[in-house]
Amino acid sequence: MKNRLVMVIMDGVGYSENSNGNAVKNANTPTLDLLMNKYPHTLINAHGTYVGLPSDEDMGNSEVGHNAMGCGQIYSQGAKLVNEAINNKDIFNSRTWNELINYCKNNTLHLIGLLSDGNVHSNINHLFELIKRAKEEKIKKVRIHILLDGRDVPKTSALIYVSKLENLLKELNDSTFDARIASGGGRMNITMDRYEANYKMVEKGWHTHVLGDARYFENATTAIETMRNENPDIIDQDLEPFVIVENNKPIGTIEDNDSVIFFNFRGDRAIEISKSFDEENFDKFDRVRYPKVYYAGMLEYDSEAKIPKHFLTEPPKIKNTLTEELNKYNIYEYAVSETQKYGHVTYFWNGNRQDKFDDNLETYDIVPSDIISFDKKPEMKSFEITDKLITAIESNKYDFLRINFPNGDMVGHTGNYEATIKAMEAVDKNLNRILDTCLKNNYILIVTADHGNAEEMYDKNNNTKTSHSLNKVPFIIATNNINFKIKEGNFGLANIASTITTLFDIPKNPSWKESIIEKE
């Protein structure tokens, strides 16, 4: 095998001709411009049905994007998977659901998750179906612990979702059924940490949801309005935790013999809170009190580590990944990112597998992320990541290397347009270093993205936008070594795996989507 490859994933960097709010187009990016002007490229789909989501109105995300790139196939994902399980009643006929219900028949069913219809981590309609079914099952008491979004949906839209939930509860509540919001807080403040970047978030979530230990309010609307009045610049994802009280007593602490469902379907930000409920010898923080509950996730968030122990919806069984195929040919791989996206180039890339397929052929590296708001340091760890990648290239040990730059996504989610421009400029400077190193060492360079974000930071009304986009993403191949052409067609992220094997001159797996290129 004569060819060797480096793949750069610019997380959250889509393509748009619209200049307004386009931090990709308006940044100074001479390297990206050079790549788009000099080398073969196309635009590919990274959203909706192209990554296994219910419709093409659904934004892509990093989890499903890396799944699709890493396995060359399209599996039902996230919202679509849960939709199917709810529609065919598999959730409510499952052993887990029946055990959850029986466990808390005389106590409380707690529902924790992101109150949003962003369809990236959760969907409010799934929550609604769980609440309605709980009433049908004669559960008397339900408490909902809401995490506020402002990231995959408009940044100050929380009250819209609170109102929808409160209206449903008003319809359902009667003398036999008592369902209420019990606690809440912003998703980037409590509970939804990932990759162990900041376990303090999970600890605050535990104190809020389980212990009822946070600022008291009479209802969620008052809590949100009060915090907004105190800090007019705050957005939903950053709101402080709150607890709903009656007669100065929390209405929904989690107690022995209660059942708890974490209703997010996406795994990365669900694992740590799941471990805090599931693990008897948990040691990441002092839980103060560890109630005996039946805990379940909407999905199995980590199939290798079996997290959580109980779950409502069977996850996609992803087989025939790119890494498995490359291992057959003894291709040495190297993957690196900072903490925020490390799992995307490893766990998600390998079909939701925590462990390596072959310890001898795969090397994974990580740079710890800073625990700050990423608009305060928009370059994040891009220079350190690049240092490690260049060292790996120059070692001459590896045949296929992949890297994720989180900047476009993580800084884009803050809504800070100026900071996102700086983030893109940092990525571009490091792209230049990588391109030079690849050309000097005869590596083929692939540059792409997992979904859009940074290229669309204002909505049609010129309001700040923090969510992902529906735009296509660039796919560029920079090499002086081989002759090929890009096919005509409507391609997506799942076509990348077979493109990589084409560049390696090895057969693609029969289950994969076709290659984007053909050799000349």
CATH number of the domain residue 34 falls in: 3.40.720.10
- Spatial separation of the C-alpha atoms in residues 92 and 108, rounded to whole Å: 18
Tally of structural domains, the chain: 2
For residue 185, count CB atoms less than 10 angstroms from its CB and return exposed for 0-12, middle for 13-18, buried for 19 or more.
Answer: buried
State both tokens at 315.
């996850």
Same domain for 86 and 73: no
- Spatial separation of the C-alpha atoms in residues 79 and 125, rounded to whole Å: 10
Residue with tokens 């935790």: 241
φ, ψ for residue 174, nearest 5 deg: -155, -165
- Spatial separation of the C-alpha atoms in residues 353 and 344, rounded to whole Å: 11
Residue that finishes a domain, picked among 285, 313, 341: 313
Strand partners, 42: 475
Contact 184, 223 (CB under 8 A): yes
What residue type is assigned to position 446 of the chain? I
Confidence of residue 475 (pLDDT cuts 50, 70, 90): very high
Parallel/antiparallel/unpaired status of strands 333-338 and 400-405:
parallel
- Contact residues for 86 (Cβ-Cβ < 8 A; gap 6+): 92, 126, 129
Same domain for 341 and 281: no
- Across residues 391-398, what is the average pLDDT? 98
Number of Cβ atoms within 10 Å of the Cβ of 256:
10
DSSP single-letter state for residue 178: E
- Spatial separation of the C-alpha atoms in residues 47 and 59, rounded to whole Å: 5
Q: What is the pLDDT of residues 16-55, one digit of tens each?
A: 999 999 999 999 999 999 999 999 999 999 999 999 988 8
Q: What is the pLDDT of residues 438-453, one digit of tens each?
A: 999 999 999 999 999 9
Phi-psi region of 361 (alpha: psi -120 to 50; beta: other; left: phi over 0): alpha
- Contact residues for 59 (Cβ-Cβ < 8 A; gap 6+): 47, 118, 119, 120, 152, 451, 467, 468, 469, 470
Nearest to 436 by CA among 390, 397, 387: 390
- Across residues 461-482, what is the average pLDDT? 92
CATH number at residue 229: 3.40.1450.10
State both tokens at 467.
């969510």
Q: By three-state DSSP, how is residue 42 classified?
A: strand
Same domain for 87 and 71: no
φ, ψ for residue 404, nearest 5 deg: -120, 125
Same domain for 197 and 48: no
Confidence of residue 79 (pLDDT cuts 50, 70, 90): confident
- Across residues 477-489, what is the average pLDDT? 92
- Across residues 158-173, what is the average pLDDT? 98
Residue that finishes a domain, picked among 281, 313, 345: 313
Q: Among 213-227, 281-295, 302-316, 328-342, whose mean pLDDT is lowest?
A: 302-316
- Spatial separation of the C-alpha atoms in residues 72 and 453, rounded to whole Å: 23
Contact 100, 77 (CB under 8 A): no
State both tokens at 389.
């990648």
Same domain for 105 and 143: yes
Same domain for 281 and 381: no
> Would you tell me the crossing angle of helices 158-172 and 124-136 to the nearest 10 degrees?
10
- Across residues 132-160, what is the average pLDDT? 97
Contact 73, 57 (CB under 8 A): no
- Contact residues for 74 (Cβ-Cβ < 8 A; gap 6+): 49, 50, 51, 52, 68, 492, 494, 513
Active site (catalytic) residues: 62
Write the DSSP assignment of 436-487 as a string of letters.
HHHHHTT-EEEEE-SSB-TT--B-TTS-B--S-B---EEEEEE-SS--EEEP
Same domain for 452 and 304: no
Residue that finishes a domain, picked among 266, 292, 313: 313
- Spatial separation of the C-alpha atoms in residues 393 and 294, rounded to whole Å: 48
Per-residue pLDDT at 283 exceeds 90: yes
Contact 2, 482 (CB under 8 A): no
Per-residue pLDDT at 304 exceeds 60: no
Parallel/antiparallel/unpaired status of strands 484-486 and 473-478:
unpaired
Same domain for 417 and 346: yes
Q: By three-state DSSP, how is residue 428 classified?
A: helix
Q: What is the pLDDT of residues 316-331, one digit of tens each?
A: 789 999 999 999 999 9
Write the DSSP assignment of 108-169 as a string of letters.
EEEEEEEE---SSS--HHHHHHHHHHHHHTT--EEEEEEEE-SSSS-TT-HHHHHHHHHHHH
Confidence at residue 277, expressed as pLDDT on a 0 to 100 scale: 98
Confidence at residue 306, expressed as pLDDT on a 0 to 100 scale: 82
Confidence at residue 303, expressed as pLDDT on a 0 to 100 scale: 62
Per-residue pLDDT at 76 exceeds 90: no
- Spatial separation of the C-alpha atoms in residues 145 and 263, rounded to whole Å: 10
Contact 404, 356 (CB under 8 A): no
- Across residues 99-105, what is the average pLDDT? 98
> Would you tell me the crossing angle of helices 417-440 and 30-38 to the nearest 10 degrees?
60
Rounded mean pLDDT of the chain? 95
Confidence at residue 257, expressed as pLDDT on a 0 to 100 scale: 98
Q: By three-state DSSP, how is residue 392 classified?
A: helix
Same domain for 177 and 105: yes
Per-residue pLDDT at 456 exceeds 80: yes
Phi-psi region of 490 (alpha: psi -120 to 50; beta: other; left: phi over 0): beta
Contact 363, 327 (CB under 8 A): no
Same domain for 91 and 53: no
Per-residue pLDDT at 69 exceeds 60: yes
Same domain for 140 and 249: yes
Per-residue pLDDT at 178 exceeds 90: yes
- Contact residues for 388 (Cβ-Cβ < 8 A; gap 6+): 336, 365, 367
Confidence at residue 1, expressed as pLDDT on a 0 to 100 scale: 55
For the chain, percent of residues with pLDDT exceeding 90: 89
Per-residue pLDDT at 408 exceeds 90: yes
Same domain for 448 and 400: yes
Segments forming the whole domain that contains residue 255: 79-313
